């Protein structure tokens, strides 16, 4: 596994060259790719020209956001899907075979059963589009209750529910984004991480949480630096990932609210240092038993 920088996961976007500079100077081995922008560059300059900066930096590529409105109107979904195979081919050629997407936690339009069936059918089609190019899609659920509170119909907000959806899709090209913060907020335990096999996990996201707040009250602003409080035991997660020989990206997905006022490079350096501390605390060479919950206490 390797340390991946996604500025979108930290709440901002920036040009590719800046993201590469931040990654190289702050201890990351990889960056996430803006595939829509990169595809435009390929159309203008060819694959060699578009990828020159990435190749010269000798940096890995972690993930890209799936440019498909999974639960959007039919016309939008069909238009997005029509472009997906070409984009997946471009991503695979540059060495970035992992896409990620979030599943909405609730809906105003569709009851649970109808929404589940819509997602099953559409994700099956997405999987078929990705499979010839060796690209896998990781799905992330959203656990914060506030995202469901004012909606007519609840949908998927736990790992078990998301795994059920993935199983019904029936495609090896569709798997899970293991986001330990979402798991913690939904009431999950480290046993929920431990039962995952390597092939189920497409990508991993780390963040910590304030220990003095009930998980059900947490919002995205409460996504703290990995290892900041120990409410979520990221080193234990990393040890399990090493045990199952997970070889994909590990991305900090935290709020930069506590670093407000700092220069962007200083804020990213703090994130990189926090991730590195988790790496060291995991003591990946030495096997240690996982704890029974996501909390260290």
Per residue in 93-129, pLDDT (tens digit) is 999 999 999 999 999 999 999 999 999 999 999 999 9
pLDDT for residue 257: 78
Q: Beta strands 98-102 and 60-65: pairing type?
A: parallel
Calpha distance 59→56 (Å, rounded): 8
Q: pTM higher than 0.85 for the full model?
A: yes
Query: What b/e readout covers 14-52, taking b as 16+ CB neighbours within 10 angstroms?
Result: eebeebbebbeebbbbbbbbbbeebbebbeeeeeeebbe
CATH of domain 2-282: 3.20.20.150
pLDDT for residue 285: 47
Calpha distance 51→90 (Å, rounded): 10
Instruction: Answer whether 228's CB lies under 8 Å from 274's CB.
Output: yes
Length of the chain: 297
pLDDT for residue 260: 66
Q: Which residues of the chain have pLDDT under 70?
A: 258-261, 284-297
Instruction: Answer whether 95's CB lies under 8 Å from 51's CB.
Output: no
The residue assigned the tokens 């930069």 is: 256
Q: For residue 250, count CB atoms less than 10 angstroms from its CB and return exposed for 0-12, middle for 13-18, buried for 19 or more.
A: buried
Instruction: Answer whether 184's CB lies under 8 Å from 227's CB.
Output: no
pLDDT for residue 216: 87
DSSP per-residue letters across 5-31? E-TGGGT----HHHHHHHHHHTT-SEE
Q: For residue 291, count CB atoms less than 10 angstroms from its CB and return exposed for 0-12, middle for 13-18, buried for 19 or more.
A: middle
Q: pLDDT tens across 223-268, in order?
A: 999 999 999 999 999 999 999 999 999 999 999 876 666 788 999 9
3-state helix, strand, coil in the chain (%, to 5): 50, 15, 35
List all residues 6 or more positions away from 172 whose beta carbon is below 8 Å from its beta carbon: 127, 131, 136, 199
């Amino acid at each position: 596994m390797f340390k991946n920088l996604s500025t979108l996961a930290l709440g901002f976007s920036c040009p590719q060259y800046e993201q590469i500079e931040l990654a190289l100077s702050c201890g990351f081995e990889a960056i996430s790719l803006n595939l829509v922008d990169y595809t435009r560059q390929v159309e203008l300059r060819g694959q060699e020209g578009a990828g020159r900066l990435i190749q010269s930096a000798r940096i890995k590529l972690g993930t890209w956001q799936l440019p498909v409105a999974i639960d959007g109107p039919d016309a939008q979904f069909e238009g997005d899907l029509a472009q997906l195979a070409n984009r997946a081919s471009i991503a695979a050629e540059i060495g970035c075979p992992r896409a990620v997407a979030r599943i909405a936690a609730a809906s105003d339009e569709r009851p649970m059963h109808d929404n589940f069936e819509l997602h099953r059918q559409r994700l099956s089609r997405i999987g078929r589009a990705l499979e010839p190019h060796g690209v896998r899609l990781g799905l992330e659920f959203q656990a914060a209750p506030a995202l469901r509170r004012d909606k007519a119909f609840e949908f998927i907000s736990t790992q078990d529910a998301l795994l059920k959806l993935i199983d019904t899709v029936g495609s090896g090209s569709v798997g899970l984004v293991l986001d330990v913060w979402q798991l913690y907020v939904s009431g999950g335990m480290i046993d929920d991480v431990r039962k995952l096999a390597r092939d189920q996990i497409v990508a991993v996201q780390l963040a910590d949480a304030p220990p003095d707040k009930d998980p059900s009250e947490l919002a995205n602003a409460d996504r703290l630096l990995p290892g900041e409080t120990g409410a979520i035991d990221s080193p234990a997660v990393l040890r399990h990932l090493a045990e199952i020989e997970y070889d994909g990206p590990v991305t900090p997905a935290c709020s930069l609210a506590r670093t407000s006022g700092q220069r962007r490079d200083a804020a990213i350096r703090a994130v990189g240092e926090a991730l590195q501390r988790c790496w060291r605390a995991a003591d990946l060479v030495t096997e240690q038993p996982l704890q029974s919950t996501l909390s260290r206490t």
